[in-house]
Amino acid sequence: MKVKKIEFDKKREVFKVSFEDENELLVNYETFEKYKISLDTDFTLNEVLEMKYFSDIERAKLKAIKFVLGKFKTKMEVRKKLNKEFDNDIIDEVLNFLEKNSYVDDRNYAIYFIEDKQKLNGYGKNKIKSLLIQKGISKQIIDEFIFDEDNEFENALKMGIKKLNLLKNEENRFKKKQKIINYLAYRGFSFDIIQKVLGEIL
C-alpha cells in the first residue's frame, strides 16, 4: 500500500495519510515518526493495521484525558465520548489505562455525586440511585452505600417546608398535600419518608 498524499489536520493534531487504493489513515505524530511515513513509501497491510491501532490508542488516550481532566466523569461517559470515533477494543484499552492511572474511578465518582446531590440538590436516595444508574455506575457500586435515614428525613423535611412556603396561596388542603407529595416523590424520597414529612408540616 503506497502513500499517495499526506496532510496535517491542525484541529485534531493528526496526519491524514492517503494510499493509492484510496484508503485513508489518521495517525498521531509519534506513529508518523516511528514508521517514517513519507510520500511513495510502500507499507504492507499488516503495517498499516498496526499503525492504525497504535495511533488510535494514543489519540483516544489524549482525547479521553482532555475530557476528564479537572472533572469527574464515569467510565460510561468516557465511552460515549470516544464511541463516535474509536472501536470498542480501543476504548476498552483506554478505559483500563484511565482506571489504572486514576483518571476515572466510578466508586469515587459515586461518593462525591451522592454527597453533592444530597447537600446541594436535596435529593432522596431513590432519585440519586436512578441518576447514578443513568451515569453508568454499576449496581454493585451503588449497593455499597448506605443512605442515612435521619439525614434523608432532614433533607425531605427541608424540601417539604420549601414547597409548602411556595404553596401559601393554595387554600385547598388536598391539592396542597398532593403537590407536596409529588414534589418530594420526584426528588426521590420514599413514601414512608414523605408521610413522616407530611405529619410534621401539615
- What value does the mean pLDDT take over residues 130-141? 93
| pLDDT score, position 94 | 97
Residues 159, 146, 158: CA angle, nearest 5 degrees? 10
- What is the spatial distance between Cα 32 and Cα 34, in angstroms, rounded to a whole number? 6
Pull the grid cell for residue 128: 440519586
Segment 4-19, tens digit of pLDDT: 999 998 888 889 999 9
User: Kind and range of the H or E element at 4?
Assistant: strand 3-9
- What value does the mean pLDDT take over residues 177-192? 94
Residue with cell 485513508: 24
Pull the grid cell for residue 110: 459515586
Segment 32-70, tens digit of pLDDT: 998 899 998 999 889 989 989 989 999 999 999 999 998
Would you place residue 146 in the very low, low, confident or very high pLDDT band (cuts 50, 70, 90)?
Answer: low
Segment 149-183, tens digit of pLDDT: 778 898 899 999 999 999 988 889 899 999 999 99
**Is the model's pLDDT at 202 over the cut of 90?**
no
- What is the spatial distance between Cα 110 and Cα 53, in angstroms, rounded to a whole number? 33
Query: Of all residues in the chain, what percent carry a pLDDT higher than 70?
Result: 99
**Is the model's pLDDT at 23 over the cut of 80?**
yes
| pLDDT score, position 104 | 96
| pLDDT score, position 70 | 87
What is the SS3 assignment for 143? Answer: coil
Residue with cell 396561596: 169
